[in-house]
Amino acid sequence: MTKLEIKNLTHTFVQNNTPLQVLDKLNFSVNTGQFVALLGPSGCGKSTLFNIISGLLSPQAGEIYLNGKRIQGNTGAFGYMQQKDLLLQWRTVLKNVLIGPEIQKESLVEKKKEALKLLAQLGLQGFANSYPMQLSGGMRQRVALVRTLLFHKNILLLDEPFGALDAMTRTVMQSILLDIWHKGGQTVLLITHDIEEALLLADKIYVLTARPASIKAEVEVPLPRPRSITDTDLINLKSELFEMMQVEMQQVFRTN
């Protein structure tokens, strides 16, 4: 059964009395347990799409279906990690990541153990009692990922979760995310503008056009994991995606 369906999603903002369309009849689907990447140029509307799916925004047109039922607004069905970490400055790292269990009124005794384990897994052992201002940008992003995972939602919306990380840390985090996904069986929808990241992680890649975003291509990634950037098949797919992205980036510069 298809877990998530996006149908004809359209959205326009108004800036200085001028309409700015960011989504144009967007259609795609994500199956249960699938890892899907959305690849598109900066500013094409990817984050707006996630804000709509999660219920933070209402679309002007189009529909979203979850397990065949139309949904609107905040359903509580998604774990959403935004580009900004949005950590609460007055709470420690541990208390920040336990916000989900607190909201859901779960026992914090077991959740604290799970949180400490995840923090250690993501290289944050010893920082549970630190405050966000004491952390680097990359560390804050890792805290935000732990917080998202502790909500224990079946569908994860990850908006460039590793964008603030250096290359080596990003590689490690990608591996950890794949391991967590493999063990937990969640459905993952990942926004990225990094072609290699999309190819290393996803089962399927949707390439978005320049703003207003629509689906330019649907690319299957039928390669076994773990994947290597030196694999011939991956290199061929990368070349194909690069050509598509190059066309859309040229469109961005023509319209700006």
Across 44-53, 137-146, 178-187, 215-224, the highest mean pLDDT is recorded for 215-224
Whether the per-residue pLDDT at 1 is higher than 80: the answer is no
Whether the per-residue pLDDT at 135 is higher than 80: the answer is yes
For each of the domains in the chain, give its residue range(s) and CATH number, in order of start. Answer: 2-77+154-255 (3.40.50.300), 84-152 (no CATH)
Whether the per-residue pLDDT at 213 is higher than 80: the answer is yes
CA distance 74 to 181: 23
Tens digit of pLDDT for each residue in 229-240? 999 999 999 999
Tens digit of pLDDT for each residue in 15-70? 788 888 999 999 999 999 999 999 988 777 889 999 999 999 988 999 999 999 99
pLDDT band at residue 255, thresholds of 50, 70 and 90? Answer: low
pTM higher than the cut 0.85: yes
- How big is the chain, counted in residues? 256
How confident is the model over 1-10, as a mean pLDDT?
A: 86
Q: Per mean pLDDT, which range of 17-21, 118-122, 160-164, 211-215 is the poorest?
A: 160-164
